[in-house]
Amino acid sequence: MKAANTTQTRVNKLVAAFLTAQDDFVIGMHAEGLDVASIQRPAVIVAVCEALAGGKGYSLSNDGKPMLDSKYAQYEFLKTRVRDTMAALRGEKRVNASSGKKDPVDALIAAFEKLDAKQRRAFLKAVV
């Protein structure tokens, strides 16, 4: 049982460090004057690409704003990390992967909700 407690203690410290780092990140962005999404996003794109792709994965638009390069091999990964970072700045939960694919369970629930009572009974009878 001691090993579990030791492991839990280490996990507790790691989670605390992660949460503190997130708070420090948000506070730091605001301290830098980066408190509006339209200002934050370009800086986040560059920072994510620098940190995770060695400065690759983005280019500058005609008006000089950084944008992710959709032809870059790790585009989806970088896009998800940028979206997650922006969500953290807004105080939101992690966003779904950026592939745009719908969750099949959500699609099934939505389809089920469109059925009338008779169709629902028939469906449930067939699957149960």
Q: Is the pTM of this model over 0.95?
A: no
Closest CA to 38 of 91, 86, 85, 97: 86
The Cα 34–Cα 44 span in angstroms is: 10
The Cα 1–Cα 4 span in angstroms is: 5
On whether the CB atoms of residues 115 and 125 are closer than 8 A, the answer is no
What tens-digit pLDDT sequence spans the chain (128 residues)?
455 678 999 999 999 998 889 889 989 998 998 888 889 999 999 999 999 999 999 999 999 999 999 999 999 999 999 999 998 888 887 656 555 666 677 777 788 888 888 988 888 888 77
